[in-house]
Amino acid sequence: MEIQTRSADNVKILEFTGRFDTYTADTARQWLEQAMTDNPANVVVNLEKVDFVDSTALATLVHSLKRCRELNGDLRLCQLQQSVRMVFELTRLDRFFEIFAQEDEAIQAFAH
Amino acid sequence: MILPAIVASQRTHLDTLAKDWLDAGASSFSIWTDGVVLASWPEAPVDETACLIEAIQVNAVKIGELRITGLHAAAHCQRLQAQAGLIAQIARLERDLNSMGADLIDTQDQLLALYNLTQATRNYLDTEELLARLAFETARLVKAEAAFFLIHMKGRSPIIQHYPQPILNDEALQHYIELMKESQHEFLFSRGSSDQALGIRNMLMVPIKVRDAETAVMGMLNKFDGDFNSPDIKLAGAIAEFTGAQIENVIMHQMNTEQARLQTEMELAQRIQIHLLPQEPPGIAGLDLWAASWPASRVGGDFYDFIIGANQPFTFTVGDISGKGIPAALLMAMTRTVIRTKTKVMPMPSPQVVMGRSNQELYEDFTKLSMFATVFVGQYDSVNRQLLYANAGHSPVIYCPAGGEARLLRADGTPMGILPTSLSKDQWIDFQPGDVLVVATDGFSEARNAHDKEFGYDRLTLLVQSLAHHPARVIAENIYKTVSDFSNGMSQADDQTLVVLKGVGA
């Protein structure tokens, strides 16, 4: 899995590419840890190029979101592919994560 | 001395040379070394006042001379010079031959010594024992008072073995090892530079090549006769080479043993996990019930359970812990137990309440371990023929009313361990004879074939519908078989667990 990072308006953006699963979750976790150093920790994870997530990947995102909230911030998801979106809907993790259609919407939501 | 040997071995040729000189008019021909005559023709006492003298030189070192009396001509001088040159050449060849013989004997001795060493140490499978034996054998072979071996593998504590006991303290040893590392080859320490305070006359240290070693070195101290010489260094080099290979073997063996132990423990864990699940479904009036779990190669986090309490409705659960391996297996056992306990201690435990209480109990542990569990809790009301359930993020759950279309029953709450308060509410469906409910884990829907295509929810829902007229057990086994055929040849990536309920006439 490839990970690109950028930042905008005190928000760290991580863009993952490829399969996000048991085998790549550790790398993702390390990058997420690095993105969560500020207080408040505001992170957007762009999943546009992720075609598969398994439960370890979901657990990694859940852990990071909990951590962000401890640091007075939030972790938001955007641009989910249909298959990935379905996983969030079926597990009802869509009730836990704020999910946005576009990356800039996710970033702007931090301003409010 | 080489010249006396040549005089003895080449006597006939020298006799011929001497005869030629005497025939040519010389009164004597003689061979000398260090002012002493080795041979003379004629054998009568030699006249010391030679007329012609020619030195025999090997590599610019004079080893003797030829002398003639009674002749003076320049031509004679040239002839004598040529003969001295020839004898020098013979001396050179003789010396080379001798040294080659000595090397051969040394090499043979070393080969034998090494053979003995390999025989003595090849059965050791413990690094410490191996090094202790090597230290003993090395001291014996190089005829030294003491020997030591130090191996420091990355990420482990160093192992040092001395024979018979340490002469150098650890600090001094470290100091010399640093010196050796700087020079990057053997470290020789001889009488001239002796360190009396440490009781060392001489020392030879040789690096040992071992993969992934921080430091690996062997040392020999206080050779019994004289200093360590070049055959000793060669022998030590060969021992070091053998030691390196042997240590790598031992480490490889240890790793294999450790691997085998872990494998056994994993298998044991998997067996325990399977035994935690109910072996036989209970007989419940109005229900045909079947459950099964096919674990993936590693222990996983799937579970199912049947809970029957006094004066309580029949309760069943299916769950899937996020992640894989031992952590998932441990949490699986814990989650199953918590749900079972919460159900049994409450007088009227509705699925929603069981879910809420269990989540409350497990939330902190799940958060601490960065995990969660999707859980389905169902209850069968045999009087009203209804199924009451609460679903915390679990899928696939497929309901197929008798003769109707199968459909997914979607979860309303997040998985257990996500939020401190459960969002899952009680929901119910009619459950008449012929109705089928399949609560499976995502190991079925996410199974993939060789083209990386997922079995998927749609296929699974249609499959349940097509099998719904069969008994529960046949439905379960056919689902497993169909998914297994689909992923033909691909290893099962995740546990596959399901509970099948079918309504039957009372």
| Whether B51 and B185 share a structural domain | no
- pLDDT tens sequence across B335-385: 999 999 999 988 888 999 999 999 999 999 999 999 999 999 999 998 899
Report d(CA B207, CA B133) in Å as an integer.
Answer: 18
One domain for residues B146 and B233 = yes
Q: For position B290, which CATH number holds?
A: 3.60.40.10
CATH of the domain at B244: 3.30.450.40
Is A86 strand, coil or helix? helix
Chain A: give the shortest CA distance to residue B323, in Å: 5
SS3 B233: helix
Q: Which residue of B has its CA nearest to A95?
A: B414
**Interface contacts (A, B; CB < 8 Å):** 62
Q: Which of B322, B393, B408 sits opposite A92 (nearest CB)?
A: B393
In a domain, B450, yes or no: yes
Query: Which residue range(s) make up the domain with B138?
Result: 123-254
How many distinct structural domains can be found in chain B?
Answer: 3
From the list A90, A86, A91, A43, the residue with the least C-alpha distance to A64 is A43
Looking at the predicted structure, is the pLDDT value of residue B210 above 80? Answer: yes
Phi and psi at residue B58, in whole multiples of 5°? -115, 120
pTM reported for the whole predicted model: 0.66
Please list, in sequence order, all residues whose beta carbon lies within 8 angstroms of the beta carbon of residue B330, skipping any fewer than 6 positions away.
none
The answer to whether the beta carbons of residues B141 and B239 sit under 8 Å apart is: yes
Query: Based on the domain organization, do B315 and B433 belong to the same domain?
Result: yes
Q: What is the pLDDT of residues B395-443, one digit of tens each?
A: 999 999 999 999 999 999 999 999 999 999 999 999 999 999 999 999 9
Same domain, B479 and B340: yes
Give the CA angle between residues B459, A23, B417 to the nearest 5°. Answer: 75
Does B42 sit behind a cis peptide bond, omega within 30 degrees of 0 on the bond before it?
yes
**Are B55 and B151 in the same domain?**
no
**Shared-domain flag, residues B191 and B289:** no
Q: What is the DSSP letter of B448?
A: B
Q: Are residues B76 and B127 in the same domain?
A: no
Rounded-to-integer distance, Cα A20 and Cα B457, Å: 20
Q: Tell me whether the omega of the peptide bond preceding residue B164 falls within 30 degrees of 0, making it cis.
A: yes
Indicate if B94 and B55 belong to the same structural domain: yes
Residue B70 reports pLDDT greater than 90? no
Whole-angstrom CA distances from A9 to A72, B27, B36 are 16, 116, 104
pLDDT, one tens digit per residue, over A67-94 is 999 999 999 999 999 999 999 999 999 9
Specify the residue for token string 């001889």.
Answer: B190
Q: For residue B259, is it within any domain?
A: no
Residues in chain B with CB shorter than 8 Å from the CB of A90 are: 393, 395-396, 408, 410-411, 457
Show the domains of chain A with their CATH numbers.
2-107 (3.30.750.24)
Which of B370, B374, B446 minimises the CB distance to A63? B370
CA B384 from centre of chain: 63
Cα–Cα distance measured from residue B46 to residue A22, given in angstroms and rounded to the nearest whole number: 101
Classify residue B107: in a domain, yes or no. no
In angstroms, the separation between the Cα of residue B365 and the nearest Cα of chain A is 12
Same-domain pairing of B77 and B219: no
**Contact yes or no for A56 and B370 at CB 8 A:** no
Distance from CA of B500 to the nearest CA of A (A): 20
**Quick check: ipTM above 0.95?**
no
Cβ-based neighbours of B249, under 8 Å, separated by 6 or more: none
Residue of B nearest to A29 (CA): B370
pLDDT of B45 strictly over 70:
no
Q: Exposed, middle or buried by CB within 10 Å (0-12, 13-18, 19+), for B120?
A: middle
What are phi and psi for residue B195, nearest 5 degrees? -110, 90
Do B231 and B161 fall within a single domain? yes
Structure tokens at B134: 């090597």
State whether B369 and B485 are in the same domain.
yes
Q: Kindly state whether residue B268 falls inside one of the protein's structural domains.
A: no
